[in-house]
């Protein structure tokens, strides 16, 4: 048992070291300006534009169910008009960025890991090295930048759609006075809540890009290795998002909230 524990710890530390080296190479490449704009634009289209439908559905139904559940509880204490204030703050600072990041991790993270893993198994990455092309510059950096840039925009769409869908449910389905709903929502939702959500989304995008590309570049041999790398990319990205959300919430509330 001690031997298995030591091997597990050793493998974990080696993995963290390789991940740290990849992170350093990625940021060094970004700062050096060696990004291929053609690849970056294509990845932005693949990651950002093609993820809009998933994000729209997620944001809309999250806002609607949040509005309904909040109303059911607030109606007991005659606080119906404060329903959208809770929905707005929740969507801006927590539900919008977290759920959008989880959906993008499931769709994009798996795709990035599978794509790079297949290239590694078929020795295409080795072929790039023989052609004096750095795989990090050519493959990782455009994907990392694309996820980091696209996720705040997707989060903004999710927040807007979620609040809009919640407002429609509150006014037309739950019959709450729209004037008071709008007044309380604007009163209790500050710029800090929106900034908190966008900053979180920016960080989550970087996490998804780095973890997915790392798993793809270091996958095992064969189809089984690619499948395992794809699964681990989604699982590790999701866990990292949920864990970091707690610490980011504590830190950003101290910095952004008056």
Q: How confident is the prediction along the chain (258 residues), in pLDDT tens digits per residue?
A: 555 556 667 766 787 887 788 888 888 878 887 777 788 888 888 888 888 899 999 999 999 999 999 999 888 888 888 889 999 999 999 999 999 999 999 888 888 888 888 888 887 777 777 776 777 777 888 888 999 999 999 999 999 999 999 999 998 888 888 888 888 888 888 888 899 999 999 999 999 999 998 888 888 777 778 888 888 889 999 999 999 999 999 998 888 765
Tens-place pLDDT, residues 71-90: 998 888 888 888 899 999 99
pLDDT at 196: 92
Question: In 3D, which of 201, 251, 213, 171 has the Cα closest to residue 59?
Answer: 201
Give the domain ranges of the chain: 33-256
Tens-place pLDDT, residues 1-53: 555 556 667 766 787 887 788 888 888 878 887 777 788 888 888 888 888 89
CA distance 96 to 22: 29
200 within 8 A of 240, measured Cβ to Cβ? no
pLDDT at 244: 93
pTM over 0.75: yes
pLDDT at 3: 58
Among positive and negative, which fits the CA dihedral 122, 125, 126, 132? Answer: positive
Q: What does the DSSP 8-state code read for residue 166? A: H
Question: In 3D, which of 88, 110, 122, 58 has the Cα closest to residue 231?
Answer: 110
* Per-residue b or e along 183-210, where b marks 16 or more CB atoms closer than 10 Å to that residue's CB: ebbeeebbebbbebbbbbbebbbbbbbb
* Per-residue b or e along 40-76, where b marks 16 or more CB atoms closer than 10 Å to that residue's CB: beebbebbbeebeebbbebbbebbbebbbebbeebee
- Residue 168: C-alpha distances to residues 82, 84, 90 (Å): 15, 10, 17
CA distance 31 to 214: 19
pLDDT at 5: 57
């Amino acid at each position: 048992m001690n031997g298995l524990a030591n091997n597990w710890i050793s493998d974990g530390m080696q993995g963290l070291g390789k991940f740290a080296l990849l992170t350093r190479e990625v940021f060094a490449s970004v700062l050096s300006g060696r990004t291929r704009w053609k690849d970056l634009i294509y990845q932005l289209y693949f990651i950002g534009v093609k993820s809009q439908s998933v994000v729209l559905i997620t944001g809309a139904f999250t806002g609607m169910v949040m509005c309904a559940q909040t109303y059911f509880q607030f109606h007991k204490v005659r606080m119906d008009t404060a329903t959208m204030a809770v929905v707005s703050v929740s969507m801006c600072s927590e539900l919008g960025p977290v759920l959008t990041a989880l959906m993008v991790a499931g769709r994009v993270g798996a795709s990035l890991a599978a794509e790079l893993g297949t290239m590694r198994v078929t020795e295409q990455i080795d072929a790039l090295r023989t052609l004096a092309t750095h795989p990090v510059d050519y493959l990782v950096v455009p994907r990392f930048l694309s996820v980091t840039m696209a996720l705040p925009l997707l989060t903004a769409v999710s927040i807007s759609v979620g609040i809009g869908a919640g407002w429609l449910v509150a006014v037309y389905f739950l019959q709450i006075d729209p004037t008071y709903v709008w007044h309380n929502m604007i009163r209790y939702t500050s710029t800090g809540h929106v900034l908190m959500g966008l900053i979180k989304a920016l960080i989550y995008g970087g996490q998804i890009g780095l973890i997915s590309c790392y798993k793809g570049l270091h996958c095992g041999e064969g189809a089984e290795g690619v499948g395992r790398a794809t699964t681990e990319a989604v699982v590790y990205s999701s866990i990292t998002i949920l864990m970091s959300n707690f610490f980011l919430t504590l830190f950003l509330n101290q910095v952004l909230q008056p």
